[in-house]
Amino acid sequence: MKLSNLYRTYLMIALISAGEGTASSILPPYLQDTGHPTAGIGMIVAIATVFSLISRMPAGLMYKPSTQKMMIRVALCVFAVSVALLPLAADALSLALLRAITGLSLGAATTLNLAALMHLISSSSSGQARGMAFYTAAMSAGFAVGNSLGGWLVDSYGYSWAFRLSTVTPFIAMIIASNVPLDEPSAARRPHDGSGWIGRTRSRLRYLLDARILLIALLCFSLNVVQQQAYTFFPIFATSVGLSLTSIGLLRGIHSVFGAVTRPLSGEVTRIASTDLLANGGFALVVLTIVAIPSFNSMAVFVPLFILLGTSRGIVMVSNAIGLMSGVGNDPEKRGTASGLFNMAFDLGSVFGPISGGLLASLVGIETMFRVGPLMVAAVYFGVLITVTRRQARRREAEAGEAL
């Protein structure tokens, strides 16, 4: 059976996420087993994300339906090779270089893939909500497979087999890379504030100054900070209370499975509840769940906690993605920029999360880091949200007064 371009795009992100999930779940314990200090683990984990962040906006600005397939395939090939070489890194410099290459290639591939999805689902508002929900579900499903198999492969066969899995999946994604219909924006739809590529770039960058888009980006950033603080150091905390890497991988798999199941349902729920309410309420639940983790030490409690964590994160992801897509609409000039911004925000969170978590854990211990770190991030996010919302309300009132 021939898969449509839309379903190829879903399958691609699932495969990419499986490879990324495998590598991210085994990397912290792998680094610990090879003698890296706790604070250093956070830094090494963050290297790939720093370079992923660097690649986001250039990839988004360069996005064109006519070239995205070739660009994605090149990025995925580089990603797979860089991950395959990780176990062979004999020194810190080699490890840092490979992580940098991994980040650049992964950032470009996922940014281009999301822009392609926006292109494919831009025809209707209902299709946009459903499309973004299934996209995030495919991402979560990929992480579920990668996280579960990663820990099991390490316990059963060693780290080398887990790294091989994270190499195979992006190669498969490269083979099935979808073609986006070549309906480039016509001259009439292009911005008229400049000539050629420079004018279009200026128009796309102005889109980043919208307050709603910036709040969506801030929530993306905040969600990933608390998630990465927990994900980076949970394997170390869990092994200290007697859990095996298989159990840790299972918990992360459970988290991803429930996130995947929740996401299509969340897309339907947005028809009866506002995306802002779902996103902000879900984020508060994510924070409280992470804060509760170090209070327990058994799988019997960790399983429901990770179910709750995956479900609440899924709600935030879908609601935020739908909010982003509604801002883009049918404007082809915004797709690459929106995709770059959306992914940049997560990358910034992935950089700041492990680093801040490592520094905080080195000062107060891992358990206290779990309790304090997420609450600090939530306080900043909700503080900014309340301030911006009040200012927008006052501005609307002033404009209404002037109209009268």
- pLDDT tens for each residue of 152-181: 888 888 888 888 888 899 889 888 876 655
pLDDT, mean over the chain: 81
pLDDT of 2 over the 60 cut: no
Place of tokens 């888009």: 213
Asked if 6 and 130 touch (Cβ cutoff 8 Å), the reply is no
For 186, phi and psi rounded to 5 degrees? -75, 170
Give the model confidence (pLDDT) of 332-379 as tens digits. 666 667 777 777 888 788 778 888 998 999 999 999 999 999 999 999
Distance in angstroms (rounded) separating the CA atoms of residues 59 and 51: 12
Residue (of 357, 225, 332, 337) closest to 287 by Cα position: 225
Handedness of CA 273, 274, 280, 286 (dihedral sign): positive
pLDDT of 185 over the 50 cut: no
Question: What residues contact 391, with CB distance under 8 A and at least 6 apart?
Answer: none
Domain-wise residue ranges, the chain: 5-179+197-403
What's the predicted TM-score (pTM) here?
Answer: 0.71
Of the listed ranges 76-85, 236-245, 248-257, 282-291, the least confidently predicted one is 248-257
Q: Which CATH superfamily is domain 5-179+197-403 in?
A: MFS general substrate transporter like domains (1.20.1250.20)
pLDDT of 189 over the 60 cut: no
